[in-house]
């Protein structure tokens, strides 16, 4: 049964029905309140009613905050995700109720982000947003459709194919030589990165107890895809690691990401190397290994890729080398 009450300049409609929570909503006019109440009662009569009260009373920002406090800390990439979610909280979309989180609102957010960020970043933003909404629907009783699934995602840019030549490597290592105030960790870090094709995070998290020089392997207990793996070491990698000093915290490369990236960028500029990122060293290592490990299963076991499609983004054979193999 529906009841109506005037409150100031608005009309409040209240619908009570056994087996359903009380539904309350305010409208500018009594006629609008009555239409809403009839629609709610009709859905209840047909057994189609789903309460949207929680979605109407909860903002997207409150859901993000709750997710950031309860779910994000359990993830391995919690630091990066926290930064991403705090940026979303500063956007106007965070002030919208979950019920008003429409595909158009998400599309506007996408377009705003694309003005200042690259497509890859926006794609990851939308993926995290979609995960939060799915979790809120399954676990927290927020009854809405996922608007992220209804919008067009930015086009994924082609993968980078920048590979360091041997001459460029010599120039880069020269600029990383431990002279003056340069960090002595950087040169061996770059050598090991090229020789193993390991990811940046894997390198910086290495501990001495992970290294087995007598077996010429490094054990990675946890990786990006959630699996552990052994990484074989070349003779050059073994010699480089043997010369590393022991650090108080047992890390092979005691340097944080920000300091490492800054030092690498300065060396790239001094060496006059165009468009070179640290991650390109992984491309370089994978491409060089491919000539020694033609079996893609062996190559994937070294690089840690779980699909051939992803491995192809890191393997960049030269046409001249392929021509020599053809004879």
Task: List, by residue number, the catalytic residues.
Answer: 199, 224, 279, 282, 305, 314
What is the DSSP secondary structure assignment for residue 7, as one 8-state letter?
Answer: E
Segment holding 221, helix H or strand E: none
DSSP assignment of 68-125 equals HHHTGGGSTTHHHHHHHHHHHHTSGGGGSBGGG--HHHHHHHHHHHHTTS-HHHHHHH
Token pair 């529906």 is found at 2
- Give the E-state strand segments of the chain in sequence order: 2-7, 10-15, 23-27, 211-212, 217-220, 229-232
User: Dihedrals φ, ψ of 184, to 5°?
Assistant: -70, -10
Segment holding 273, helix H or strand E: none
Residues 189, 92: Cα–Cα separation, whole Å: 42
Token pair 């309140």 is found at 33
Residues 240, 143: Cα–Cα separation, whole Å: 57
The CA-based diameter of the chain, rounded to the nearest angstrom, is 89
Three-state DSSP at 270 gives: helix
Residues 126, 156: Cα–Cα separation, whole Å: 13
């Amino acid at each position: 049964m529906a009841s109506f009450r005037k409150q100031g300049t608005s009309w409040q409609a209240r619908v009570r029905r056994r087996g359903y929570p009380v539904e309350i909503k305010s409208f500018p006019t009594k006629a609008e309140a009555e239409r809403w109440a009839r629609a709610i009662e009709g859905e209840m009569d047909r057994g189609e009613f789903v309460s949207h009260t929680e979605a109407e009373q909860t903002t997207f920002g409150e859901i993000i905050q709750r997710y950031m406090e309860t779910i994000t800390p359990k993830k391995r990439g919690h630091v990066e995700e926290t930064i991403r979610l705090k940026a979303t909280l500063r956007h106007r979309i965070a002030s919208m109720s979950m019920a008003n989180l429409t595909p158009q609102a998400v599309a506007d957010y996408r377009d705003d982000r694309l003005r200042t960020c690259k497509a890859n970043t926006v794609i990851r933003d939308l993926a995290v947003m979609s995960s939060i909404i799915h979790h809120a629907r399954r676990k927290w009783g927020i009854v809405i459709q996922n608007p992220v699934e209804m919008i067009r995602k930015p086009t994924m840019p082609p993968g980078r194919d920048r590979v360091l030549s041997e001459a460029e490597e010599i120039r880069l290592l020269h600029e990383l030589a431990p002279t003056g105030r340069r960090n002595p960790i950087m040169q061996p870090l770059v050598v090991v990165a090229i020789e193993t094709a390991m990811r940046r995070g894997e390198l910086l998290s290495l501990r001495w107890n992970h290294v087995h020089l007598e077996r010429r392997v490094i054990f990675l207990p946890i990786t990006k895809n959630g699996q552990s793996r052994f990484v074989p070491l070349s003779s050059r990698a073994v010699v480089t690691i043997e010369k590393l000093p022991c650090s108080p915290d047992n890390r092979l490369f005691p340097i944080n990401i920000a300091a490492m990236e800054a030092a690498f960028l300065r060396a790239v500029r001094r060496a006059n190397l165009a468009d070179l990122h640290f991650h390109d060293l992984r491309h370089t290592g994978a491409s060089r290994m491919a000539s020694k490990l033609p079996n893609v299963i062996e190559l994937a076991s070294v690089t840690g890729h779980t699909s051939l499609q992803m491995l192809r983004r890191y393997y960049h054979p030269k046409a001249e080398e392929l021509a020599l193999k053809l004879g």
